């Protein structure tokens, strides 16, 4: 039996998206395949279970697609981390560096209870900036980042180095 995920065979490369020189890893074919999607959710849920997660945090937007079913599978709550200005209630925010400039993510101020063990879910670990900012939001609210889980890691961008203080799990590496 192979350790290779079914999803790995379904991820397609989209050259020059969103800009020239970038090869985008498109997971939508894996999401469209019910067996691949179930496998991804199962693997992420198994990881969250090993980290004793109390709550699942998903990073906009594919972290919502993967994190929500993980939370349901485990009988846990789900907390969204969104781009600035997208959440309706009182929020906290964290700014992070981009190649040129900055961006920010936010979370509802009442989303995490102090002491909760949190697993952060997203589809792709690239530079690690958004994930690190999401972890800082959890910590600002008194939560413990028990782990971060990603379907894909682009190892040449060294995002895991930015997350070296945390337990990180990825299933497919490029």
Q: Active-site residue among 12, 51, 60, 62?
A: 62
Smallest CA-to-CA distance from 118 within 68, 167, 53, 165 is with 53
Round to whole Å and give the CA distance between 11 and 20: 20
Neighbours of 174 (CB within 10 A): 15
Give catalytic status of residue 62 as yes or no.
yes
Give catalytic status of residue 95 as yes or no.
no
Please tell me what DSSP assigns to residue 127.
S
Round to whole Å and give the CA distance between 116 and 34: 31
Q: State both tokens at 95.
A: 């700014």
Burial of 2 (0-12, 13-18, 19+ CB in 10 A): exposed
Just list the catalytic residues: 62, 99
């Amino acid at each position: 039996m192979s350790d290779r995920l079914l999803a790995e065979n379904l991820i397609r490369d989209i050259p020059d998206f969103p800009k020239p020189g970038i090869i985008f890893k498109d997971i939508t074919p894996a999401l469209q395949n019910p067996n691949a999607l179930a496998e991804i959710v199962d693997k992420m849920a198994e990881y969250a279970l090993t980290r004793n997660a109390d709550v699942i945090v998903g990073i906009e937007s594919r972290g919502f697609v993967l994190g929500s079913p993980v939370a349901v599978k485990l009988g846990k709550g789900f907390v969204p981390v969104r781009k600035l200005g997208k959440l309706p209630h009182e929020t906290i925010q964290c700014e992070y560096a981009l190649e040129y400039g900055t961006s920010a993510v936010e979370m509802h101020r009442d989303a995490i209870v102090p002491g909760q063990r949190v697993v952060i879910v997203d589809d792709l670990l690239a530079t690690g900036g958004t994930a690190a900012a999401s972890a800082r939001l959890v910590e600002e609210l008194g939560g413990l980042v028990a782990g971060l889980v990603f379907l894909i890691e682009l190892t040449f961008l060294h995002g895991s180095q930015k997350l070296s203080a945390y337990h990180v799990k990825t299933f497919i590496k490029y």
